[in-house]
Amino acid sequence: MAEASSSPDTETPPQKEENPADLPRDSTNDVRTEGEEAATSDPSMYRYIQTDLFTSEIYKVEIRNLPKFIGFNDLKKFLAKHSLNPHKIKLFGRQTFAFVTFRNEEERDKAMRLVHGVQWKGQVLSVRLAKPKADPILRKRKQEEGEGAAGGQPPPKRAEGGEGEETLSVQIANVVTPLWRVPYEEQLRRKEQEVVGVLQRLAKEIGSTNKALLPWLFAQKGKYNKMCCPLEAIRPSPTQTEYRNKCEFLISVGADGEDKTVGFRLGKYKGGSCAVVGPVDTCHVSAAAKRVVNAFQEFIRRTPYTVYSPETYEGHWKQLTVRTTRTKQAMAVAFFNPQKLEEKELDALKSSMKKYFSEGDGRDSGVTSLYFVREGQRTSPSPEDLPCELVAGDGCIHEELLGLKFRISPHSFFQVNTGAAEVLYSAVGEWAQLDQDSTVLDVCCGTGTIGISLAKRVKKVIGVELCQEAVEDAKVNAKLNGLSNVEFHCGKAEDVFPNILNALVSSNITAIVDPPRAGLHTKVILAIRRAEHVKRLVYVACNAKAAMNNFIDLCRAPSNRVHGAPFRPVRAMAVDLFPQTMHVEMLLLLERVDYNSQDQQEETRSC
């Protein structure tokens, strides 16, 4: 997507700072049917809004009269230019309005003052307070009641296992592993085609944002099926089933009517569903994890505590996270809402958990690390990682990857498919073109897996990671593997990374980034662009479409906002870390454009 500044906008500030009380007040959330309108007029639809709990819905505005054809990232950049940091942004296709929520009343009111009356792309924006969204389950229930009353009888229900209805095991497989019936070769073909589409779009974006690269780009598109660089054959996962080493299970009423069921949600809450189905027949969950789930489900059914209801905010048991390793270790993390239970009751519960998994029926489940997490109602928009209380066993588990040992704590990131991660990291090592004079910057390093796997080939590895627990693991992992040329820094990449870059004097620096699905913060991308001694960048994208803006900013022409020579994509590859789903990891190698290189200029002219 081309940057908005490529065609200068005229942004006229309001003539005066309006008081939010003087601005237009509330609006409806979207266009509703008559039945929905009736449902949302019921105050009970909003009972999730409580004064002591956080939900950004209570700090919500509607921005009207938006320019046509703008997207999510356009609006996000526009708000950022006005020093606004929204919590959520919701656009509706080609509509010229959007709903934006904020973390507190001050930020919401600031947005109303700064944006109301501003001109953007020829449109004068209007901002007003917006009503919160109705509770999806209550709204659906209200609609069904209304439909039943209108017809004189309640809506019909399909009988469980009735003719034409799929079994619960098939339904849940369709939800969590939607490609489970598709032959694996066809799965790989589809995923590779998705990456082809990403690279073709990136070629168009580079053409729009960096005219100097057009001769080179024209040649690339001619050679590589309209893509900006060659795409190597997709690398499959070594195992296609039971590959996940981490699963997060919800605890709720089962879709079969069984109370206190541990499994995956059959639908989305916003679709009006809270029912779960156990993982016994799912193909991506390991047998070891299923044993832990069965044992834990049996334990909670013996306790007097009910499952937590997101509809009523009552109940206790919420979630079970299970991590397993090749070394036959298993970690179970139980999330529990204490409500108003006294400390002695919680201590008794933890004691019974310990006894059950150490001496009782759960002792053969394979759990070697058992944690208890108190997860009450959210009282802030961005809560830090909740503290984990070790109930029994070791404080961490260990995994082996590429002949190296790694410690994993409850909150630490580790790729969910260990075998495929080895394939991915081996490719990263091949593409990085490292030698004993190289310095590797490992951004969003998690437990240090990528940097540590490359450390013996290079002079130095510097890792950056947000999660303190993961950084501690990374430091331990470096020692476990006898490495002294590795260091790790904790903090937001956008805060820590620029300072690290400025302190480096090496001329042989390769950056390797493996960010979350949303991609890297713009500040990190701009810092990489400014640091012209970073000549090579390996980008590991778990969602290439979401990372598109990062790719574009890395390749766009220098400007007042973007300093430093651009990068250009050199090669790409897909690696299948998530068989039976449409998710795929993409590896993209980018190299710095050297305008001073006569050879490159001649090559560009010859193209």
**Contact by Cβ (8 Å): 278, 269:** no
**Contact by Cβ (8 Å): 406, 327:** no
**Contact by Cβ (8 Å): 574, 222:** no
Residue 119, helix vs strand vs coil: strand
Q: What is the CA radius of gyration of the chain?
A: 26
Q: In what side-by-side order are the strands of the sheet with 317-324?
A: 276-277, 261-265, 246-252, 317-324, 330-336, 369-374, 389-393
Question: Which residue among the candidates 444, 542, 602, 607 is catalytic per the annotation?
Answer: 542
The span from the CA of 434 to the CA of 554, in Å, is 21
Q: How many whole angstroms from its chain centre is CA 449?
A: 19
Residue 426, helix vs strand vs coil: helix
Q: Quick one: the chain helix, strand, coil %, rounded to 5?
A: 35, 20, 45
The span from the CA of 345 to the CA of 396, in Å, is 26
The span from the CA of 233 to the CA of 230, in Å, is 10
Tell which residue, 254, 410, 232, has the closest CA to residue 332: 410
Q: Is 166 a catalytic residue?
A: no
**Contact by Cβ (8 Å): 147, 35:** yes
Q: Is 490 a catalytic residue?
A: no
The dihedral over CA atoms of 301, 305, 309, 313, expressed in degrees to the nearest 10, equals: -170
The span from the CA of 203 to the CA of 213, in Å, is 10
Q: DSSP code of 244?
A: B
Secondary structure E strands in 447-599: 460-465, 486-490, 509-513, 534-541, 567-575, 585-592
Tell which residue, 33, 271, 71, has the closest CA to residue 147: 33
Question: Which residue among the candidates 57, 62, 465, 585 is catalytic per the annotation?
Answer: 585
The span from the CA of 285 to the CA of 292, in Å, is 11
The span from the CA of 342 to the CA of 334, in Å, is 18
Tell which residue, 577, 221, 538, 312, has the closest CA to residue 421: 577
The span from the CA of 537 to the CA of 432, in Å, is 8
Task: Identify residue 409 by its one-letter amino acid code.
Answer: S
Q: Angle between the 287-302 and 343-358 helix axes, to the nearest 10 degrees? A: 130
CB atoms within 10 A of CB 49: 13
The span from the CA of 560 to the CA of 565, in Å, is 13
**Contact by Cβ (8 Å): 487, 477:** no
Beta-ladder partners of 250: 263, 319
Task: Identify residue 54 by its one-letter amino acid code.
Answer: F
Q: Where in the sequence numbering do the catalytic residues fall?
A: 542, 585
